Structure 1
C-alpha cells in the first residue's frame, strides 16, 4: 500500500492506464480555478471598501443629528455653513428624496456663534459620554489690540471612533467691532487628510439671522438667506493687521495727535456709510493703506485719507450721496475714461477718492497737477481685495498687501518719511502727459 501510494503521487509516468489522467498544478484547469478564486477575492475586497465608504456617508447624518440635537438641548444653535451642502440644498427636489448632508462626503462644516458656544460646558461632557471626540484649535483673541496671548476656541474637529469615520468641522463665529462676524483661519497642519470646503482663510461676514428647516428627516439651521451667505464666501477673506509689527514701529516712531488721528476714523466711517449705501466697493489706498499695514493707524503727518474705487463702479449718484451725508465737495479732475479723481472734506479732514483703471498686466490711478495740467499715473500690481479691521471699521485692502506697499513706497516703506512730494516721491509715479487748456476748462472743478 505504501509503495502504491508513492507511485500514485509522484511517479505518474509509470501508470499504465492511458485513459487515466492525473491533474497537476500546471494544468490549464488549475490556472483557471486560481484565476477565478483571485478575482473573487479582489471583488470582495472592492465591495468591502465601497461598503465602508457608503457606511461612513450614511453615518454622517447620524453624527450631525446627535451633535446638533444635544447642542440644541442646551440652547446652542448649530448651523450649516458647508458650501457644497448649501448649494445642494438650493437645488434639492422634494419629489426625489435624497441625502442632502451626504453631498458633503466624509466631512461637513458647521458653524456656531460665540455667544451660544459660551454655554458649551455640559454639552462637551454629554458628547464625551456618547463617544464623540472634540479636537479643539485655539488662537489669540484678535479683539485685544495688544495681542495678549489670550486663547479663544476657533475650530473643532468632531468625530466618533472607527477607521472610516465621518467628521464635523465646527467653526466658531465671533462678533467684531463694526457689527461684522469673523472666524479665524484653520491651520492646514492640523487637518491633514481632510478635504475641507470652508475655513482655509480667516473670513469676515455681514451679520445674519438663522432659519430652520427639516432636511434629511431632522431639524437643521442655515444662514438667512442661503444665497446671500454663499455669495459672501468667495469675498470673505480677512487679514489681520500685524499688531506686533506696529508696536515695534511705534516704539521708534511714537504717535502724535493731529487732526487726522483725532477725526480720521469718523470721516472714514462717514464715507463708508455713503459708499455702502449705494453699493460701491472701495479699499484703502496709498498712505492710508501704508498706515494700516505699518502701524495699524493713520500716519499722523499725512493730511488726508485715500481710498480706491474701481472706475466701473462710479455712478453719477456718488457725489450727491456724499453731499447729502454732509461732506463738502472740494474737487473733481480728469475724465471718467482717464485719471478721474474726486475729493471731499468732513470734520476738517480731506478724503481723496482715487479711481482704479485696469490694464493687461497692472492697475493704475491718476493724478493731475491743477496749476499746470500735468498728468501722473500711479502703477500698481494686480490684486484682489480682502477684508481687515482698521480703527474698528471693516474695510477692504489690496490683497496681498506687501507687493502693493513696495510698489507705492519702495523697499524702505517701514521707515518714517515726513516729507513727501506726490508728483515724484512715490516709487510707482510715472508722467502721463498734459491736459490741454480746453480740457482743463471743461472737466477740472475746484
Structure 2
C-alpha cells in the first residue's frame, strides 16, 4: 500500500480550514449582518469599551425612522435623566466625539421613543423595512376617545403603541395625539386575546399601564453617543410630568345611562349657566397656571364630571380644590387682576382657609385641603355664628382628565372622593343642599374665637 505524504495531508487540511473560515466570513457578511442590520458595525474610533446591544439597536431604529421620515423623539426617563445632566455640554459642543458610550449603554431592556400621530402617515413600508433589518414588531390599538361622546360610544381603533424587538433589546414607540384641551395624550397598552404576551416585558414599560396626558413639547436635536436624536427641549420638565401623567376618561356610557333616568336640563337658563361656568373654570385654570399652583375639580364640579360628564346646571357655582402647601399670598390679587371680585375669605392659612370669587354672576369656590395621618380635609365657616366645619376625605392622588375642553385634574380615586362627600346615593340628583348638614363627610370643628373674627371672617 502506497504511503501517504504527511506534508500533503497537512497542506490539504490547512487549505480546507481556510476555505471554511472564508465561508463563515462570507455567510456572516451577507446573511447574518443583513438580519441584524448595518447598525451592528462598530462606531469608528469613539468607544473604548465594547458597544452594548442597546446602542446598536437604537442606532438601527434611528436609521430606520430617518430613512422613512418618521420624526420620533426620546421620552425614555433613564436616558433623558442622563442627558439632562449634560444638556449644556451637549448644546455647546454638539459635534464632539464621545470617548465612551454614556447614554445608550446602560444595559436597559427597553428604550422609549414618542411619535406625534398627525405628522406621519401610517405607511406599511416602514414595517417591511424593519423586518428586513431584523426587527420583529407588534402594533397595539385602542379606541379613539376624541370621537367618543354622549351620542357615540363605539369609537374607532387607532394605533397607540408599537414595539420593535431586535436581539435582546426593544424599542417602545408611544403614539401621542392632540386633544381639544390643547395637550398631548397617549392611550393605555392593552393586549388583544390573540397577541403574544411573551413578546415584551410589558410590566416594565414606562408608558402603557394607563393613559397619560402631557403638555406640548418643543424639541431639541442633540448628538449623544454618536447618534443624532431629538429630545424634549426641557427634559427636566418632561421628567417632572411623567409620575403625574395618569389620565382618566369621562364616563360617557354611565353618563348616558344617568340621563336616561334623569333627563338633562336643556333650558335657556341651564345652558347659559353652563356657558358661564365653563368660562369661569377656564379663567381659573389660566390664572392658577400663571402662578404655578396645581388644582383639581372638587365638590359639585367633580360630581358633575364623574356622574354626567358636564357641569351640573343647578349647582350655581364652580368648585376647585388646592393643597394648602401650594397656597401663595398673591393668589387673591391674581384673580382680581383677571376680573373676579373677592366675595369672601374664611379661615387662615393654618386652619380652614377658603376663598370665594364672583365672576359674571357665577361663584368660584376655592377649598384648601389639609392632610392628617389617615385622611385629608377642607374647612367651612358659618359667617353669622363663627362655627367651623370640617369635611373629611380618604387620602387621594391626582389624575388628569378633559372637562369642558380643558385639561384639568381630578382625584384619581374619584368614586371614594365623591362617596365621601355625597354618600352612596351620589348618582341621584339632589337639588336641595345645605352645606352644613347635607354632606356625608361634614362634622363640627369648633367655633372661631370672637377676637379673631375680623381676620377669619371677611365678607366683601
In which range does the TM-score fall when normalised by the shorter chain?
Answer: 0.7 to 0.9
> 1:30 aligns to what?
none
Q: Is this contact kept in 2: 1:238–1:387, CA < 8 A?
A: yes
Alpha-carbon distance between aligned partners in 2 of 1:59 and 1:432, rounded to the nearest angstrom: 62
> 2:55 aligns to what?
61
**Counterparts of residues 185-334 of structure 1 (less than 5 Å):** 185-187=188-190, 190=197, 193-194=201-202, 195-257=204-266, 258=270, 259-334=272-347
Per-residue Cα deviation, 1:114-158 (whole angstroms, up to 9, x for no partner)? 112335443233323434332111111111232332011001111
1:361 aligned to which of 349, 358, 374: 374
> 2:358 aligns to what?
345
> 1:78 aligns to what?
72
> 1:13 aligns to what?
none
Q: Is this contact kept in 2: 1:82–1:198, CA < 8 A?
A: no
Task: Tell which deviates more after alignment, 348-357 or 126-135.
Answer: 126-135
Q: Is this contact kept in 1: 2:232–2:238, CA < 8 A?
A: yes
Unmatched 5+ stretches in structure 2: 1-39, 41-49, 90-96
Please give the secondary structure, in 2, of the residue aligned with 1:103.
coil
The answer to whether 1:136 aligns with 2:139 is yes
- The two structures, once aligned, show a CA RMSD in angstroms of 2.2
Task: Tell which deviates more after alignment, 194-203 or 265-274.
Answer: 194-203
Q: Is this contact kept in 2: 1:249–1:295, CA < 8 A?
A: yes
Count residues in correspondence: 389
**How many Å apart are 1:91 and its aligned residue?**
4.4
**How many Å apart are 1:407 and its aligned residue?**
0.9
Alpha-carbon distance between aligned partners in 2 of 1:95 and 1:57, rounded to the nearest angstrom: 13
> 2:427 aligns to what?
414
Q: Which has the larger radius of gyration?
A: 1
Distance 1:354 1:427, change over 3 A: same
**How many Å apart are 1:248 and its aligned residue?**
1.1
**How many Å apart are 1:95 and its aligned residue?**
6.8
**How many Å apart are 1:96 and its aligned residue?**
5.0
The answer to whether 1:150 aligns with 2:153 is no
Alpha-carbon distance between aligned partners in 1 of 2:421 and 2:120, rounded to the nearest angstrom: 43
Q: TM-score, normalised by structure 2?
A: 0.80
Unmatched 5+ stretches in structure 1: 1-54
The answer to whether 1:383 aligns with 2:383 is no
Alpha-carbon distance between aligned partners in 1 of 2:317 and 2:84, rounded to the nearest angstrom: 46
> 1:29 aligns to what?
none
Alpha-carbon distance between aligned partners in 1 of 2:382 and 2:456, rounded to the nearest angstrom: 13
Alpha-carbon distance between aligned partners in 1 of 2:124 and 2:370, rounded to the nearest angstrom: 53
The answer to whether 1:110 aligns with 2:113 is yes
Alpha-carbon distance between aligned partners in 2 of 1:442 and 1:413, rounded to the nearest angstrom: 35
Please give the secondary structure, in 1, of the residue aligned with 2:410.
strand
> 2:454 aligns to what?
441
Alpha-carbon distance between aligned partners in 2 of 1:331 and 1:445, rounded to the nearest angstrom: 6
Q: Is this contact kept in 1: 2:161–2:174, CA < 8 A?
A: yes
**How many Å apart are 1:193 and its aligned residue?**
3.1
Task: Tell which deviates more after alignment, 186-195 or 60-69.
Answer: 186-195
> 2:171 aligns to what?
168
The answer to whether 1:178 aligns with 2:144 is no
**How many Å apart are 1:410 and its aligned residue?**
1.0
Distance 1:436 1:287, change over 3 A: same
> 1:39 aligns to what?
none
Alpha-carbon distance between aligned partners in 2 of 1:114 and 1:421, rounded to the nearest angstrom: 48
Q: TM-score, normalised by structure 1?
A: 0.82
Q: Is this contact kept in 1: 2:355–2:366, CA < 8 A?
A: yes
> 1:122 aligns to what?
125
Q: Is this contact kept in 2: 1:74–1:119, CA < 8 A?
A: no
Alpha-carbon distance between aligned partners in 2 of 1:263 and 1:255, rounded to the nearest angstrom: 17
Alpha-carbon distance between aligned partners in 2 of 1:58 and 1:441, rounded to the nearest angstrom: 69
Per-residue Cα deviation, 1:239-258 (whole angstroms, up to 9, x for no partner)? 11111111111222222141
**How many Å apart are 1:192 and its aligned residue?**
5.6
**How many Å apart are 1:400 and its aligned residue?**
1.6
Please give the secondary structure, in 1, of the residue aligned with 2:436.
coil
**How many Å apart are 1:275 and its aligned residue?**
0.6
Per-residue Cα deviation, 1:259-312 (whole angstroms, up to 9, x for no partner)? 432221111000101111011111111111111111111112111111011112
**Counterparts of residues 394-405 of structure 1 (less than 5 Å):** 394-405=407-418
Q: Is this contact kept in 2: 1:57–1:166, CA < 8 A?
A: no
Per-residue Cα deviation, 1:356-391 (whole angstroms, up to 9, x for no partner)? 111111111111111222211000111111111111
**Counterparts of residues 16-35 of structure 1 (less than 5 Å):** none
